Structure 1
């Protein structure tokens, strides 16, 4: 099931990885269905069902490509300002561009945000002009109609994305403007996030109310609104964490010199030893030369059938190993630590120097609200 839910890589463009979530297929099928049965037969009557299906499918694919252009414009503009782009994703509600860092200036923030709607407007105008030209010159309605539909949809996408509420592009424009006027990026994020939650909850109310009144299709507005409200809060939390942990190194927040689990011991021996330490649940497993071999938890030890004859190294979980001088944000980005992994071993000069866990990151995030960690270290 997890494999099925993973995004599928579909290519790279100028170093940007492009993936598609399985739900993007639902969008393609839905758009194809609407065009085939509701739009094309009315605008261009008299064709066979097969012709409508082919035209609808091609238009649907073109629509997804226009969404991809929208997101790639964000990505490529971000790269111009030195902002890391993790990937571009297509999914049920459109697309998303994941950045590895915050924009360095309000100008960069504004231009990256505006690039997407600007591209959608350009796509809409281009397809609209093509449709008009073909219509005037006697082109087939089966070609003119899809082009005009693409033009209208892209212009609507641009308009919707310019709503001044996170996580929409308009919300990022608001963030950039507030940041520019006040010099406070966090304040810009706060204003944008509040607007996003208000707008999202407003859509939920309208959609739910419409559905109750008998207009069931309006329920889709409630789904979109719930998504916007949730991700507005999530985006603010993520950006706040980046601000708090910016330039913080693993060695500043790790748990140093942790108790270790000798890999050559049996599970039974280790459990007996751990009975004297009631304050830890997960331990780095080390080889005789001190090299980390993974991690093991008490719950995993307890579940071993033959604890008396099973070595700890045989049941150790493989986890990434990080360096003491790495950035905490980089570690969170490249490991699953932020998704519940208990600990990762930390090396310094090839030797185990400590462990980094979710609790360590949470502590660093909370304490950094009041004290810069480098100031704490220097005092």
Structure 2
């Protein structure tokens, strides 16, 4: 993303943007997984420190992961574990997005060619952008690499909060719904994503296929399935729903 900024005169050196993007996205993803790690340790769950998975496509990484090597003690613990990563990541993604938007130039739409990439606007990103800059008709916000990292962090938050399998949203759904309803929901969400992908963004169809696999694998649940969810953790469930809503975008990426 840095090279076009240099070509248009918005940036002196592409390495500046590349380093800024890489640092920003690693901070967001690393914070997401550290949130999981710290909450896991607090709840007595054996978990590894986060590590990053490199990838050749535009983000340069498939994210950071931790391995959970023991059972989750209770439904309340599962909710904490599911929310901790997305919440921690979002709390870092928001200031990074703000900084990135403030560094992003406003340009005429005419500079974009047929192969240009346009990004979806989740509610939280739209609110930040419209609060900081005014984009008049015929113009567009040309995202700085740091702003793109913030957008990617919000996108990752949405993906992880999908209530399916053993995703973060899946942990929460399993605690709230129980094993049978969680499995049904996982399959319904997976099939829905596959269908949505046919009409909107093809990436959703891929997620649908992944989701069917995750639904088939199921979720091990927690050791204590008897103790009910308390008020504090119901509030956490609502926070997770709000995070999912404000980070959702039907068409994340559009070319041309």
| TM-score (norm. length: structure 1) | 0.41
* Contact 2:36–2:81 (8 Å) recurs in 1: yes
Q: Kindly state the Cα deviation for residue 80 of structure 1 after the two structures are TM-superposed.
A: 0.3
1:192 aligned onto 2:182: yes
Alpha-carbon separation, structure 2, partners of 1:171 and 1:54 = 38
Q: Kindly state the Cα deviation for residue 177 of structure 1 after the two structures are TM-superposed.
A: 2.3
Alpha-carbon separation, structure 2, partners of 1:205 and 1:228 = 12
String of CA shifts for 1:186-235, please: whole Å, max 9, x gaps. Answer: xx23333332232223223333x35xxxx8xx433322222222123224
Of the three residues 56, 78, 93, the one matched with 1:124 is 93
Alpha-carbon separation, structure 2, partners of 1:58 and 1:132 = 13
Aligned to 1:246: none
* Structure showing greater relative contact order (alpha-carbon pairs closer than 8 Å, 6 or more residues apart): 2
Aligned to 2:149: 150
* Contact 1:66–1:154 (8 Å) recurs in 2: yes
Aligned to 2:70: 101
Residues 220 and 36 of structure 1: CA distance in aligned 2, closer, same or farther (over 3 Å): farther
Alpha-carbon separation, structure 1, partners of 2:196 and 2:3 = 28
Aligned to 1:321: none
RMSD: 3.2
Equivalence map 1:52-71=2 (5 Å)? 52-71=14-33
* Contact 1:175–1:189 (8 Å) recurs in 2: yes
Residues 65 and 190 of structure 1: CA distance in aligned 2, closer, same or farther (over 3 Å): farther
* Contact 2:35–2:88 (8 Å) recurs in 1: yes
Aligned to 1:176: 175
Alpha-carbon separation, structure 2, partners of 1:231 and 1:98 = 16
Equivalence map 1:1-379=2 (5 Å)? 35-36=1-2, 40=5, 45-46=8-9, 51-86=13-48, 88-91=50-53, 92=55, 93-131=62-100, 145-178=144-177, 188-207=178-197, 209-210=198-199, 218-236=201-219, 239=220
Q: Secondary structure at the match of 1:100?
A: coil
Q: Kindly state the Cα deviation for residue 94 of structure 1 after the two structures are TM-superposed.
A: 2.6
* Contact 2:28–2:93 (8 Å) recurs in 1: no
In structure 1, stretches of 5+ residues that fail to align are 1-34, 137-143, 179-187, 244-379
Residues 100 and 90 of structure 1: CA distance in aligned 2, closer, same or farther (over 3 Å): same
* Contact 1:36–1:53 (8 Å) recurs in 2: yes
Residues 54 and 86 of structure 1: CA distance in aligned 2, closer, same or farther (over 3 Å): same
Alpha-carbon separation, structure 2, partners of 1:193 and 1:205 = 19
| TM-score (norm. length: structure 2) | 0.58
Q: Kindly state the Cα deviation for residue 115 of structure 1 after the two structures are TM-superposed.
A: 0.5
Q: Kindly state the Cα deviation for residue 134 of structure 1 after the two structures are TM-superposed.
A: 6.2
* Contact 1:206–1:221 (8 Å) recurs in 2: yes
Alpha-carbon separation, structure 1, partners of 2:79 and 2:209 = 25
Residues 177 and 165 of structure 1: CA distance in aligned 2, closer, same or farther (over 3 Å): same
Q: Kindly state the Cα deviation for residue 104 of structure 1 after the two structures are TM-superposed.
A: 1.0
In structure 2, stretches of 5+ residues that fail to align are 56-61, 105-131, 133-142, 224-256
Alpha-carbon separation, structure 2, partners of 1:165 and 1:235 = 9
Q: Kindly state the Cα deviation for residue 169 of structure 1 after the two structures are TM-superposed.
A: 1.2
* Contact 1:63–1:150 (8 Å) recurs in 2: yes
